[in-house]
């Protein structure tokens, strides 16, 4: 049964849910919202913190993307996106938390928003926010490199929820001058190339979701 997703197309948090649906082969229906709709009473009734996305499935409403990702993985057939091995599962959880707590404020909200998203919408660029984000962005990339090590994916040799959560934020790191400098020479670039081959990643690309790129047939 279809997962209904309420959110702004192009948001990395919405993208994580789309990625999980695509990887599991679950049909989804994105009810597109505009920036600002998430602070209105209708949406706050779904998600009292005003953050996107929120989902509905079979009469079940849920918000908070880590919970949503785990729900989709557990509730549907299709390839498992959580490793069975406890240590690998812990790595997956660790990366998902690093992404939410440290990658989101630095690489996404600090650098990515100001360098990539703001120009698309003609919004002012906060140069101070970009500068302030750089040290934590660097720490994030080095920490993720350490965890990746010689593995193909963050939790081992199979794609997990950690890779889906991370790619939604790291995908556009090389596209900003600061991000490109920070990620230059990193083993994360080979991981990004591997992820870019996945149909789920191609189908949910930010510019494509925003309707800024032609959809492939």
Asked if 106 interacts with ligand GSH (CB under 6 A), we say no
Element (H, E) at 7: strand 3-7
| Encoded tokens for 95 | 């990366």
What whole-number distance in Å separates Cα of residue 147 and Cα of residue 150? Answer: 9
Q: Find the binder of ligand GSH among 3, 9, 13, 176 (CB under 6 A).
A: 13
What whole-number distance in Å separates Cα of residue 206 and Cα of residue 47? Answer: 23
Q: Single out the residue of 166, 140, 130 nearest to residue 12, CA to CA.
A: 166
Give the nearest distance from C-beta 174 to ligand GSH in angstroms.
19
Give the nearest distance from C-beta 51 to ligand GSH in angstroms.
4
Q: Which stretch binds ligand GSH (CB under 6 A): 22-30, 47-55, 151-159, 198-206?
A: 47-55
What whole-number distance in Å separates Cα of residue 55 and Cα of residue 71? Answer: 11
From residue 54 to residue 93, the character string flagging contacts with ligand GSH as x (rule: CB under 6 A) and all else as - is ---------xxx----------------------------
What whole-number distance in Å separates Cα of residue 145 and Cα of residue 137? Answer: 12
| Encoded tokens for 154 | 């963050």
What whole-number distance in Å separates Cα of residue 62 and Cα of residue 77? Answer: 19
For ligand GSH, which is the closer residue by CB, 40 or 119? 40
Give the nearest distance from C-beta 11 to ligand GSH in angstroms.
4
Q: Which stretch binds ligand GSH (CB under 6 A): 45-53, 143-151, 177-185, 204-212?
A: 45-53
Burial of 145 (0-12, 13-18, 19+ CB in 10 A): middle
Asked if 50 interacts with ligand GSH (CB under 6 A), we say yes
Asked if 51 interacts with ligand GSH (CB under 6 A), we say yes
For ligand GSH, which is the closer residue by CB, 51 or 194? 51
Interface residues with ligand GSH (CB under 6 A) are: 11-13, 38, 50-52, 63-65
């Amino acid at each position: 049964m279809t997962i209904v997703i309420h959110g702004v197309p192009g948001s990395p948090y919405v993208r994580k849910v789309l990625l999980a649906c695509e990887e599991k082969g679950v049909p989804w229906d994105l009810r597109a919202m505009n920036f600002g709709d998430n602070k209105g009473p209708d949406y706050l009734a779904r998600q009292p913190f005003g953050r996107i996305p929120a989902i509905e499935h079979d009469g079940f409403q849920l918000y908070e993307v880590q919970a949503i990702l785990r729900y989709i993985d557990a509730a549907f057939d299709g390839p498992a996106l959580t490793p069975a091995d406890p240590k690998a599962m812990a790595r997956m959880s660790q990366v998902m938390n690093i992404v939410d707590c440290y990658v989101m404020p630095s690489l996404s909200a600090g650098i990515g928003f100001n360098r990539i998203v703001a120009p698309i919408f003609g919004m002012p660029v906060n140069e101070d926010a970009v500068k302030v984000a750089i040290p934590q962005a660097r720490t994030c990339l080095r920490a993720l490199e350490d965890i990746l090590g010689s593995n193909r994916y963050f939790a081992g040799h199979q794609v997990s929820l950690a890779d889906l959560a991370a790619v939604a934020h790291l995908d556009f790191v090389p596209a900003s001058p600061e991000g490109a400098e920070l990620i230059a020479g990193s083993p994360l670039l080979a991981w990004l190339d591997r992820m870019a081959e996945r149909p789920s990643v191609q189908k949910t690309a930010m510019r494509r979701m925003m309707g800024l790129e032609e959809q492939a047939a």
